[in-house]
């Protein structure tokens, strides 16, 4: 079984790619099943791009630019192109249809072009833009104007109204909060800069955009039926809202950046640690039954995005450690991800974090014949030796039918070590399995296989010949 790397032919020898999705949600590229390892950064330095390609990244974001596509193709890497909001036919449908048709016509035939992407986090931004306006920008503007008033009596009254508007928002009385903020503008003798930006009509605006995306998706698919459309969500919104948007995509997923664990705010689940990656992988599948899920994982530190320099807080908002990067990738995989992509590497320290990320990607690329293989239909059960913990989360297992036998990918989502036993393996009695890192080997006996795994650990169990 071949990996995605190496499937490219010289630029002059290959026309448009043929991309499809197997019933088990695995991507198929020119007849070969492929596990996607993607990079949102398109490095401008040749040396960095070469490192990414050598490590095994097989899909890299590209601008709609032939030179960029040529540069990727010459390194044996595929590309995806973002359509921008031209795919949303809910506004300016005629102009956007023309622009989308031109984009498709210009680039669908390029041998590097594999997948279209729609605007990032489009559903969340319907809500988030309004929240930023009502809770941040509008508050700042109104307070500045109030502070400049010469009429101190009016200023005091408006400050009280401003505080009340924020209080009302905080307790969920959105209508009253917005009405109060709008009244402040009137008392200031000003027009609101964003008079129609209301959280109350966000559901309606989201539904309108979902319908517009679906129209654009259908048009794009009619023009480029052999190229899937990929939609990335924020780690937000309900299953029902995401499902409506997912009608306009062949592949879905979300970005989730939980490091440092337990003190970050990116996840809005009860689980805010490393295992939120697996939790979001599952909830993305809930909103897109039968479609591949690609997860976008953390390729940066929050300190870098906030431009923190040499401070105690910057040290807390650190990069993922290599073992955390490895865990998050495998946690997504055992929970059903058919692709892993990384965002934020354009902002990160190429000397500190980048080498560890490349090490993990190289491991995944080397394992791609297994990752792209069909899931096994073994009826597995997992049990644990007695331990001191509550074990509210535990072991997750993915069995894969590779060419050389059944492999097991095992992830410990618990914060303590666990001794686990896989059962239901009677058909594998006598087969010896070795763990890829430690080299520990055990044999299946009476349908059972036992190992001990560290906290937030990963076991890749390979059948020994």
Q: Which of 13-27, 348-362, 387-401 has the lowest mean pLDDT?
A: 13-27
Which domain range does residue 442 map to?
Answer: 381-463
Q: Are residues 48 and 133 in the same domain?
A: no
Task: Answer whether residue 313 is part of any domain.
Answer: yes
* C-alpha dist (Å) from residue 240 to 123, 236, 237, 247: 12, 12, 8, 11
Task: Answer whether residue 96 is part of any domain.
Answer: no
- Quick one: pLDDT at residue 41? 96
Q: Are residues 173 and 130 in the same domain?
A: yes
Q: Are residues 351 and 398 in the same domain?
A: no
Mean pLDDT of 258-267: 84
Q: Are residues 280 and 354 in the same domain?
A: yes
Burial track 397-411 (b if 16+ CB lie within 10 A, e otherwise): bbbbebeeebbbbbb
Mean pLDDT of 455-460: 98
Secondary structure (3-state) at 127: helix
Number of domains in the chain: 3
CATH value at residue 426:
2.60.40.1180
CB 77, CB 112: distance < 8 Å: yes
Task: Answer whether residue 110 is part of any domain.
Answer: no
CB atoms within 10 A of CB 155: 15
Q: Are residues 365 and 276 in the same domain?
A: yes
Domain boundary among 371, 394, 427: 371
Is the model's pLDDT at 2 over the cut of 50?
no
Alpha helices in 133-275 (DSSP H): 138-147, 152-170, 174-187, 202-223, 239-246
What is the separation of C-alpha 286 from the centre of its chain, rounded to a whole number of angstroms? 15
Q: Are residues 387 and 458 in the same domain?
A: yes
Task: Answer whether residue 221 is part of any domain.
Answer: no
Q: Are residues 387 and 328 in the same domain?
A: no
- Quick one: pLDDT at residue 308? 80
According to DSSP, residue 405 is labeled: E
- Phi–psi pair at 45, nearest 5 degrees: -85, 125
Secondary structure (3-state) at 64: coil
Task: Answer whether residue 68 is part of any domain.
Answer: yes
Whole-angstrom distance, CA of residue 16 vs CA of residue 416: 49
According to DSSP, residue 113 is labeled: E
Q: Are residues 309 and 400 in the same domain?
A: no
* C-alpha dist (Å) from residue 95 to 67, 83, 344: 26, 14, 32
According to DSSP, residue 231 is labeled: E
Domain boundary among 341, 371, 401: 371
Share of the chain above pLDDT 90, in %: 92
CB atoms within 10 A of CB 166: 15
CB 107, CB 69: distance < 8 Å: yes
The residue to which tokens 């990727």 are assigned = 72
- Quick one: pLDDT at residue 67? 97
Secondary structure (3-state) at 433: strand
- Quick one: pLDDT at residue 465? 73
Task: Answer whether residue 290 is part of any domain.
Answer: yes
Task: Answer whether residue 99 is part of any domain.
Answer: no
* C-alpha dist (Å) from residue 26 to 105, 139, 147, 281: 26, 47, 58, 15
The structure's pTM equals: 0.94
Q: Are residues 357 and 393 in the same domain?
A: no
The residue to which tokens 């909060």 are assigned = 177
Domain boundary among 348, 371, 394: 371
Mean pLDDT of 396-424: 98
Please give the radius of gyration of the chain, using alpha carbons only, rounded to the nearest integer: 25
Q: What is the pLDDT of residues 35-86, one digit of tens each?
A: 999 999 999 999 999 999 999 999 999 999 999 999 999 999 999 999 999 9
Q: Which two tokens stand for residue 348?
A: 């990160």
Q: What is the pLDDT of residues 217-262, one digit of tens each?
A: 999 999 999 999 999 999 999 999 999 999 999 999 999 999 998 7
- Quick one: pLDDT at residue 264? 66
Q: Are residues 276 and 334 in the same domain?
A: yes
What is the greatest pairwise CA distance in the chain? 88
Mean pLDDT of 176-199: 96
CB 8, CB 29: distance < 8 Å: no
Q: What is the pLDDT of residues 282-305, one digit of tens each?
A: 999 999 999 999 999 999 999 999
Q: What is the pLDDT of residues 133-167, one digit of tens each?
A: 999 999 999 999 999 999 999 999 999 999 999 99
Whole-angstrom distance, CA of residue 46 vs CA of residue 67: 13
Q: Are residues 357 and 256 in the same domain?
A: yes
Q: Which of 67-76, 312-321, 334-343 has the lowest mean pLDDT?
A: 312-321
- Quick one: pLDDT at residue 368? 97
Task: Answer whether residue 346 is part of any domain.
Answer: yes
CB 275, CB 282: distance < 8 Å: no
80 membership: H or E segment, kind and range? strand 78-82
The residue to which tokens 């946690």 are assigned = 331
Q: Are residues 257 and 330 in the same domain?
A: yes
């Amino acid at each position: 079984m071949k990996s995605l790397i190496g499937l490219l032919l010289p630029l002059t020898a290959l026309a448009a790619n043929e991309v499809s999705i197997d019933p088990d949600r695995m991507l198929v590229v020119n007849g070969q099943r492929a596990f996607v390892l993607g990079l949102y950064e398109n490095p401008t330095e040749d040396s960095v791009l070469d490192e990414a390609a050598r490590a095994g990244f097989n899909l890299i974001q590209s601008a709609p630019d032939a030179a960029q596509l040529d540069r990727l193709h010459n390194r044996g890497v595929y590309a995806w192109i973002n359509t921008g909001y031209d795919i949303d036919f809910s506004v300016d449908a005629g102009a956007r249809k023309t622009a989308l048709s031109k984009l498709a016509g210009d680039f669908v035939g390029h041998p590097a072009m594999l997948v279209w992407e729609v605007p990032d986090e489009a559903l969340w931004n319907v809500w988030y833009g309004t929240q930023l306006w009502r809770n941040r920008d509008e508050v700042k503007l109104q307070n500045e104007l109030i502070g400049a008033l010469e009429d101190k009596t009016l200023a005091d009254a408006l400050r009280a109204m401003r505080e009340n508007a924020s209080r009302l928002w905080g307790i969920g009385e959105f209508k009253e909060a917005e009405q109060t903020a709008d009244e402040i503008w009137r008392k200031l003798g000003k027009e609101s800069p964003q008079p129609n930006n209301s959280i109350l009509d966000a559901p309606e605006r989201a539904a309108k955009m979902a319908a517009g995306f679906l129209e654009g998706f259908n048009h794009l698919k009619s023009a480029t039926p052999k190229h899937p459309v990929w939609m990335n969500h924020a780690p937000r919104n309900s299953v029902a809202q995401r499902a409506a948007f997912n009608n306009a995509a062949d592949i879905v997923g979300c970005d989730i950046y939980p490091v440092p664990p337990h003190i970050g705010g990116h996840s809005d689940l009860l689980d805010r640690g490393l295992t939120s990656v697996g939790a979001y992988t599952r909830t993305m599948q809930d909103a897109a039954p039968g479609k591949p899920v690609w997860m976008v994982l953390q390729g940066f530190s929050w300190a870098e995005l906030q431009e923190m320099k040499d401070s105690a807080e910057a040290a807390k908002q650190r990069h993922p450690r290599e073992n955390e990067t490895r865990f998050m990738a495998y946690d997504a995989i055992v929970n059903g991800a058919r692709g892993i992509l990384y965002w934020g590497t354009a902002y990160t320290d190429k000397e500190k974090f980048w080498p560890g990320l490349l090490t993990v990607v190289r491991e995944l690329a080397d394992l791609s014949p297994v990752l792209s293989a069909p899931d096994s239909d073994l009826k597995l059960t997992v049990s644990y030796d007695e331990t001191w913990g509550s074990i509210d989360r535990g072991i997750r297992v993915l069995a894969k039918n590779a060419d050389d036998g059944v492999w097991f990918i095992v992830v410990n989502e618990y914060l303590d070590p666990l001794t686990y036993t896989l059962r239901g393996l009677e058909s594998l009695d006598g087969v010896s399995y070795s763990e890829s890192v430690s080299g520990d080997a055990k044999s299946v006996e009476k349908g059972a296989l036992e190992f001990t795994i560290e906290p937030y650990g990963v076991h890749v169990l390979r059948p020994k010949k």
